[in-house]
Amino acid sequence: MKPQGVLIAGNWKMNHTPKETEVFFEKLKIGIQSLDALAKASLDNEQIRVCVMPPMLCLQTALTKTKNMKVTIAAQNVHFEKKGAFTGEVSGPMLSELGINTVLIGHSERRHYFGETNETVTKKINSLLSQGFHIIACIGETKAERQHQETESVLKKQLDAIISDQALSQSQSLVIAYEPVWAIGTGLTATTKQVEEAHGFIRSVLTNKFANKSGNIAAQKISILYGGSVTVENFADLLHCENVDGGLIGGASLKPENMIEFIKIAARSSS
Ligand code: PGA
């Protein structure tokens, strides 16, 4: 049993049009209605939480389709400024007016393809926390960094950027997603040993950071998700790992039937 329950977060990336979004949620709704009593109760009491991150253009459709469902709709990115001359960007106030209160920040694709750095990640997190958002913040090492035994130093630097004083005081609004870059979209999942080592390290960094604040309790309460080629085949094993509080799921989250399966797996693993 995970103290903070299990979070199943689906990151669609640049997939699904608004029409496909409608179809997805219609199927997801039917799937959720046909879950067994245990899984339904876990959703109702939020022992299992489901979050879906469609592209910006599909957020409104997703919100409309999930009005009466226990599913959180989140954005995959946001700018740190509230408005201004930032062509192509979307701000916190725009998202919150729509009804979005959760955002993914610092995904490795944002870092690698769009030049995001630990510095921009810090700015985004601080700005969005002060605007009242919940944040899922991503960290993870590249293949070369792992090969050079730099995994822990990279994770530490990324966590230093994320856990500012602001984040320390609003830790209840923070989720960390550990995604080894070499495992994303590659079919290569980290081994359970690698996952436990990385998640244990992340938990220890969090515990140190909170040492002078609310201490252990706040650090323990932060969910740490694993991401990187999560599938319905490997999710149960990943959930059994210590300090894994759910999954950030890309490719496999695009099919509603997989999301239903992830819910069932989470329900079985927490029973
Ligand atoms: P993947 O993506 O599950 O397709 O590997 C995970 C992610 O990038 O969040």
Which entry of 107, 109, 134, 145 is annotated as an active-site residue?
Answer: 107
Interval 46-101: pLDDT, tens: 999 999 999 999 999 999 999 999 999 999 999 999 999 999 999 999 999 999 99
Report the amino acid identity of residue 251.
G
Report the amino acid identity of residue 156.
K
Could you tell me if 148 and 196 are in contact, meaning their C-beta atoms sit under 8 angstroms apart?
no
Ligand 1 nearest atom to the CA of residue 185, by list position: 5
Over pLDDT 70: what percentage of the chain? Answer: 98
Q: Is 148 a catalytic residue?
A: no
Buried b / exposed e over 129-166, threshold 16 CB at 10 Å, is bebebbbbbbbbbbeebbeeeebbebbbebbebbbbeb
Could you tell me if 124 and 130 are in contact, meaning their C-beta atoms sit under 8 angstroms apart?
no
Mean pLDDT calculated for residue range 225-253: 97
Could you tell me if 103 and 95 are in contact, meaning their C-beta atoms sit under 8 angstroms apart?
yes
The full set of domains in the chain, from first to last, is 6-270 (3.20.20.70)
Ligand 1 proximal residues by C-beta, below 6 Å: 11, 179, 184-185, 227-230, 248-252
Instruction: Determine the pLDDT at residue 264.
Output: 97
Ligand 1 nearest atom to the CA of residue 253, by list position: 3
Nearest CA to ligand 1 atom 9: 250
**How far is C-alpha 149 from the geometric centre of its chain's CA atoms?**
25
> Collapsing DSSP states into helix, strand and coil, what is residue 53?
strand
Distance 33 CA to ligand 1 centre (A): 27
Instruction: Determine the pLDDT at residue 105.
Output: 98
Interval 120-153: pLDDT, tens: 999 999 999 999 999 999 999 999 999 999 999 9
Which entry of 109, 179, 196, 199 is annotated as an active-site residue?
Answer: 179
- How far apart CA 260 and CA 262 sit, in angstroms, is 5
Q: Is 179 a catalytic residue?
A: yes
Instruction: Determine the pLDDT at residue 214.
Output: 57
Copy the structure tokens of residue 61.
């459709």
Copy the structure tokens of residue 198.
């990385």
Mean pLDDT calculated for residue range 23-35: 98
Distance 211 CA to ligand 1 centre (A): 32
Distance 245 CA to ligand 1 centre (A): 16
Could you tell me if 4 and 45 are in contact, meaning their C-beta atoms sit under 8 angstroms apart?
no
Ligand 1 nearest atom to the CA of residue 231, by list position: 3
